[in-house]
Amino acid sequence: MCGIVAYVGSKDAAPILLEGLQRLEYRGYDSAGLAIVNKTLRTRKVKGRVADLAAAVPARFKGGVGIGHTRWATHGVPSDVNAHPHVDGAERVAVVHNGIIENADELRAKLTVDGATFTSETDSEVLAHLIARTVKDTDSLEEAVRTALKRVVGTYGIAVLDAERPGEVVVARNGSPIVLGIGEKEMFAASDVAALVRYTRQVVHLEDGELATIKADGFHTFTMDATETAKEPLTVDWDAGHYDTGGYEHYLLKEISEQPETVARTLRGRVDDRFHIAHLGGLNLTPHETRAFRRVKIIGCGSAYYSGQIGAQLVEELARVPADAEPASEFRYRNPVVEHDTLYVAISQSGETYDTLAAVQELKRKGGRVLGIVNTVGSAIARECDGGIYLHAGPEVSVASTKAFTSTAVAFALLALHFGRVHDLSPADGRRICEGLRRLPAQIEEILAKDDEIAGLARKYADHAGMMFIGRVRGYPVAREGAQKLKEISYVHAEAYPASELKHGPLALIGPDMPTVAIVPDDELLDKNLTTLGEIRARGGRVLMVGHRAADPRLADDCVVVPKNETELDPILLTIPLQLLAYHAAVALERDVDKPRNLAKSVTVE
């Protein structure tokens, strides 16, 4: 969840590292630091944002090799001392680390007995001391890092500097991403390609258990037992412009506004108007194999999990195959029964979400067939899965997911259409869904045009201490995602319930100070939803209705009308106003919209 950058070349490393850290700040932003080698090892570390670090770096902080880090705290409070890089007592070795060292206390105790003096509360500092003790006895930083990591239990992405070997940086990966960037007589490494695309689009992804040494003239990769590995560079589609705000006040608003385009990209080339089916060659499934699956199980975390709930509903409705969604973090720990006739689908925007990756690896060990729905090409989950669907939504920088959520729901609609047509979905219904999918980008544009209207509603409701979100069946995961968005960026407490469950307990909370956002699509459950609104109003509750028709003022105080699509696809559109509502509430409350407190974009720790 933290950000790592490393550079080896002839240029001054500090400006390159600082620029890379700014692009990675969405992965962690409570403290930051740099280490540079120029005859000696020099470090600068601060509590706060990368801008604070940049202000603290002196003009004479020169050197052509360095490492940098922006932190999301796991061990020890944010402080100058707990910030990375961490160094050994002799200030020879510097380490930046993402992940968690599970046996850090044991290692710290042994190192203390051996004479090491620790200055921070972090688990990461043990790595600097371990490597420093080993490097004294060998002529190879590579060997020192390999030897030290064999004593480590846990997850890591690391970059290591040795002041006595100033022409190289050693990096390693186990559960936390590391990407190499290949330049012209210079090399880079980072935890995300976002830090690299300004300088190169040629990248190499390390696998778990793999290390690399980067020097100005190239790199080589190897395993923990020193076996050389062969890596082919990939060309990244995104460039530095994709990581700019594009004139918007916040990345989040930019990403919400990009959804007509990103949905169109997710659909491009995948809708077949002749046979009314979805072309998904990346699934690597024959029609015979597809028909053999009797169940679909979807796993993801946070917003990915809620999009999986929408996906499960789509698969059941269109393919008539039982489907359900579950948090990946729970799935991997309950010793699930893995069935040969169940298709498993893992969702992750980054493709690096640790809980989801670990669940995929457990499924593979047990012989499960796993598809991935991810946004990042070449990511760990994409590589682990048997096949899948790339979203092509472009980089998502804001911590709160919007365009990736929507594109994931669209990807599930394509998957459900594909399964449905292989099973028993008629050509007529296939045509209806294809036509509905093609209408989505223009309808999202219609909703975005209501931005001023929704901003006014957000200001009206933002001052409440809490809000309730409700929906039935298709509307329930929409309500869950709406509540998630509101709480994570505005810090307004929000709960989501199935509308039918309101009278079984949560109705006790309803009153003038607890508004309800009600998801009311124009479907077969419309009358039941309206009855629930009557129950809320009878208890003095205020209602903001999101649906397909203007609300009866006796049932709702306010209403956002959304264009109607096919009933199965309506949840995709109903989500958009809730994104805008959360965004404008956060702005009204003067929150840090793109970097909400305590959160980070890519969760690569447990």
Q: What share of the chain is helix, strand, coil (3-state, %, to 5)?
A: 40, 25, 40
Say if CB 395 and CB 242 are below 8 A apart: yes
Give the pLDDT score at 535.
94
Is 320 found in the same domain as 469?
A: yes
Is 276 found in the same domain as 170?
A: no
Task: Give the Cα separation of 408 and 345 in Å (integer).
Answer: 12
> Where among 194, 211, 235 does a domain terminate?
235
Give the pLDDT score at 605.
65
Is 212 found in the same domain as 352?
A: no
Count CB-CB contacts under 10 A for residue 590: 7
- Domain assignment of residue 525, yes or no: yes
User: What is the H or E stretch that residue 412 is in?
Assistant: helix 403-422
- Domain assignment of residue 321, yes or no: yes
- Is residue 171 exposed (0-12), middle (13-18) or buried (19+ Cβ within 10 Å)? buried
- H-helix segments, 193-341: 251-257, 259-267, 287-292, 303-319, 328-331
CATH code, domain carrying 557: 3.40.50.10490
Looking at residue 281, the DSSP 8-state letter turns out to be G
- Domain assignment of residue 129, yes or no: yes
CA angle (252, 203, 72) in 5-degree steps: 45
Residue range(s) defining the domain that contains residue 302: 251-589
**Which residue out of 2, 301, 385, 434 is catalytically annotated?**
2
Task: Give the Cα separation of 461 and 329 in Å (integer).
Answer: 33
Give the pLDDT score at 28.
73
Q: How many CA atoms lie within 13 A of 83 on its CB side?
A: 24
Hey, which residues does 345 pair with through a beta bridge?
298, 371
- Domain assignment of residue 597, yes or no: no
Amino acid identity of residue 143, one-letter, is E
User: What is the H or E stretch that residue 429 is in?
Assistant: helix 427-448
Active site residue 301: no
For 392: left if phi > 0, alpha if psi spans -120 to 50, otherwise beta; the answer is: left
Active site residue 434: no
Is 366 found in the same domain as 267?
A: yes
**Which residue out of 254, 403, 487, 601 is catalytically annotated?**
601
Is 340 found in the same domain as 207?
A: no
Domains: count for the chain: 2
- Domain assignment of residue 475, yes or no: yes
Looking at residue 156, the DSSP 8-state letter turns out to be E
Averages of pLDDT over runs of 10 residues in the chain (606 residues) are 91 95 83 93 94 92 94 85 94 94 95 93 94 87 96 95 94 93 96 91 93 96 96 83 86 97 97 94 94 97 97 97 96 90 96 92 95 91 94 92 97 98 95 98 98 97 95 97 97 95 91 95 94 94 96 94 98 98 98 88 67
At 220, list the tokens.
């080589």
- Domain assignment of residue 596, yes or no: no
Task: Give the Cα separation of 86 and 75 in Å (integer).
Answer: 13
Is 475 found in the same domain as 380?
A: yes
Say if CB 477 and CB 306 are below 8 A apart: yes
Say if CB 393 and CB 262 are below 8 A apart: yes
- Domain assignment of residue 306, yes or no: yes
Cis preceding-peptide flag for 441 (omega within 30 of 0): no
Hey, which residues does 212 pair with through a beta bridge?
171, 221
Task: Give the Cα separation of 36 and 62 in Å (integer).
Answer: 7
> Where among 235, 266, 297 does a domain terminate?
235
Task: Give the Cα separation of 558 and 423 in Å (integer).
Answer: 42
Q: What is the dihedral of CA 372, 376, 381, 386, to 10 degrees?
A: 40
Is 46 found in the same domain as 170?
A: yes
Task: Give the Cα separation of 591 and 374 in Å (integer).
Answer: 29
Give the pLDDT score at 378.
82
Count CB-CB contacts under 10 A for residue 307: 31
What 3-state DSSP class applies to 189? Answer: strand
Say if CB 475 and CB 574 are below 8 A apart: yes
Task: Give the Cα separation of 245 and 430 in Å (integer).
Answer: 38
CATH code, domain carrying 33: 3.60.20.10
Is 137 found in the same domain as 277?
A: no
> pTM, whole model, 2 decimals?
0.88
- Domain assignment of residue 171, yes or no: yes
Is 378 found in the same domain as 504?
A: yes
Is 288 found in the same domain as 425?
A: yes
Give the pLDDT score at 604.
62
Q: β-strands 31-38, 40-47: how paired? A: antiparallel
Count CB-CB contacts under 10 A for residue 114: 9
Is 335 found in the same domain as 216?
A: no
Is 360 found in the same domain as 213?
A: no
